[in-house]
Structure 1
């Protein structure tokens, strides 16, 4: 029987490092997205030419070392969308990992392999990254707990960059207890206090498919009971969700182009058409657009600072719809990507922590409810995740 029935792991010899007993994460297994360095193993980044052009790392990425030092066992490196420039999880080089929760649908990207491995029970937790939604979207599509931490909260040493002003590293889990156990190690603190105020992002719920909004309603009601005060409806993005998305689509691709430009110009790597097209578009974003987007980022940060003082959380659908079907054409996929960005842009723009909670389905496919808190309230969001599971 295959040890990788869902095509979650990078092809070839499996990176494995045994855990140690008697430590906080002893007995847990984890995988790492193929953007994280593992000493002695090439970092592939979802593109075979990237691995050929870059030296084999001599030390582990900070996040990998953190879990190993806590006793967890590394069981492999997982497939990622090419150079992390994807949101649906389809890879031209290594294939598309299987979404166990909805096998006919994509797993979400770019942390596709990590989400697929956890969803299939091939490991207890897995490291991924989130620049424009790459933790939150796979968590929603695969029915997992997933976190985009506060931007800058975790050390990204040994992580292949994409757009550093938005890059973060997070983790997935199937259950809240494991999610919190890993969080204690990664954050260096216990789950925090529960919030006392709940806001509902009515613009985000209105933007999502009606079936998604309806499916998430019982979770919102449970969340309100946990917080213990009547929720208040708010507009998350007064300028418009699509305006925030436009700003993120201006800043992130322009930064990604600067990240990958030296590699592209020196090595002329092979790329999927959609990835090459995105990088070309990023190279052509004018300064006037970037300057506008930078100002919109400041407005988004100000808005979330206002909405989210300590002790307050905001909830919204993680994605506007469940995972799309596998194998759709590029013209069919682009509007779906754009809609996803409208519900994910606040992460890269404002840098607040966000956790996607599982617990709802539409037509049998998972959809997640997200909670966002004040910067550095990551541990409080994890406490909410535990309380939500206990109250289910």
Structure 2
């Protein structure tokens, strides 16, 4: 089978038929190469990882859930190396194609899954989100994507990175498919619709001015569904302060996750990945303690802002996808700015859905909605309502 988007892991394609007659029968899906598929190596975006770990004997829990629901698995997709990336570039397997903006990166680390869905190679695809890896590709590729409430979905059979932030999500091109998959994975139907809308004025001010202008019609559409929006500051301490806290916590956990493998096998790794892991190994206890307190403040802030029936909207990313092949010095400030708009996910564990519908010079950019913990189904209902009045 051809792979025009370079979305799938090189080599023989993992293919499994779903259970006949299930609620997802007729749908096809792909899985990021962090999920176990029985009899298939879990590569994690690094060729030495697969060599150092046994071939799984069971499917990851969410992979099995979709098979049981009738969806057909058509392959495993490329990921940023050991999921430590946000742009979608992999030194071993290359950069998947962003079909919505072919001269730009697809976003990572769920790059292959987003690329496969955006190119129409499958109906939906599983990815993960620790620091933005579902939300960023959704924005860059013009897809529906979700970072569920932390702990909502079973992570059994998933290659970990930073367990206190790791989540499983899925992509779709249309809200109906997005909701069908969500009903199966979440175990509940979409709804109810929220009744109050907050607009994260600090996040909109932080994004490029063109982003706010492009997203304004989508915000107005949200107001038609939920009611007039009220401006609020999401992060009173500062978006960069929340980002610093996440950058202090997540890399430490990543280092703890991969340290035994690195020390025992001395794997080949890209410089940017090694640099991040080394940084995580050197975060002092005082910084970790401060970051843990900031995480509690962030959680308290969103509990205050998001009582039942209230959602918050903000740009998913501060700009559309960067061009492919830019140098590290150019990309690093971009990565830092992306983290400023994504840190709340890992810090608070709140669910977030990125909605497509806006472009800047032809490149997509998403609008995100955030709800209180456990309100995933309500956010999906908003996605359906937004598409219905498109």
Shorter-chain TM-score tier: over 0.9
> What does 1:283-322 correspond to in 2, within 5 Å?
283-322=281-320
Aligned residue in 1 for 2:367: 369
* CA deviation after TM superposition for structure 1 residue 20, in Å: 2.9
SS at match of 1:269: coil
TM-aligned CA deviation for residue 19 of structure 1 = 2.2
Q: CA–CA distance in 2 between the matches of 1:287 and 1:16? A: 46
* Structure-2 separation of matches of 1:158 and 1:272: 25
Measure how far apart 1:18 and its partner are.
1.3
Maintained 8 Å contact 2:100/2:363: yes
2:256 aligned residue: 258
Aligned length: 390
Task: Give a deviation string over 1:51-85, Cα, whole Å, max 9, x none.
Answer: 00000000000010010000000000000000000
1:275 to partner: Cα distance: 0.2
Secondary structure, aligned partner of 1:342: helix
Q: Which runs of 5+ in 2 are unaligned?
A: none
What is the aligned partner in structure 2 of residue 123 from structure 1?
122
User: What residue in structure 2 maps to residue 62 of structure 1?
Assistant: 61
State how 1:40-79 maps to structure 2 within 5 Å.
40-79=39-78
Partners of 2:61 and 2:154 within 8 A in 1: yes
SS in 2 for 1:35: coil
Question: What CA distance in whole angstroms lies between the structure 1 residues aligned with 2:51 and 2:330?
Answer: 33
Contact kept? 1:21, 1:27, Cα under 8 Å: no
Which 4+ runs in 1 deviate beyond 3 A?
none
- In the alignment, which residue of structure 2 is the partner of 1:5? 4
**In the alignment, what sits opposite 1:282?**
280
Match of 2:104 in 1: 105
1:346 corresponds in structure 2 to: 344
Q: Residues of 2 paired with 1:297 and 1:276: CA distance?
A: 26
1:294 and 1:20 map into 2 onto residues whose CA distance is: 44
Matches for 1:87-236 after TM superposition, within 5 Å: 87-227=86-226, 229-236=227-234
Residue 39 of structure 1 contacts residue 57 of structure 1 at CA under 8 Å; is this kept in 2?
A: yes
Post-superposition CA distance 1:169-226 (Å, at most 9, x none):
0000000000000000000000011000000000000000000000000000000110
Q: Which residue of structure 2 lines up, in the alignment, with residue 33 of structure 1?
A: 32
SS at match of 2:24: coil
Number of the residue aligned with 1:324: 322
Aligned-partner SS, 2:331? helix
Tell whether the 8 Å contact from 2:183 to 2:190 is kept in structure 1 after alignment. Answer: yes
TM-score, with normalisation over the residues of structure 2? Answer: 1.00
Native 8 Å contact 1:201 1:233 kept in 2: yes
2:383 counterpart of 1:391: no
- Aligned partners of 2:110 and 2:134 also within 8 Å: yes
Provide Cα deviations, 1:299-356, integer angstroms capped at 9, x if missing partner: 0000000000010000000000000000000101100000000000000000000000
Alpha-carbon deviation of 1:21? 2.4
Q: Counterparts of 2:135 and 2:262 in 1: how far apart (Å)? A: 29
Alignment match, 1:81: 80
Alpha-carbon distance in structure 2 between the residues aligned to 1:174 and 1:106 = 18
Deviation at 1:42, TM superposition (A): 0.2
TM-score by length of 1: 0.99
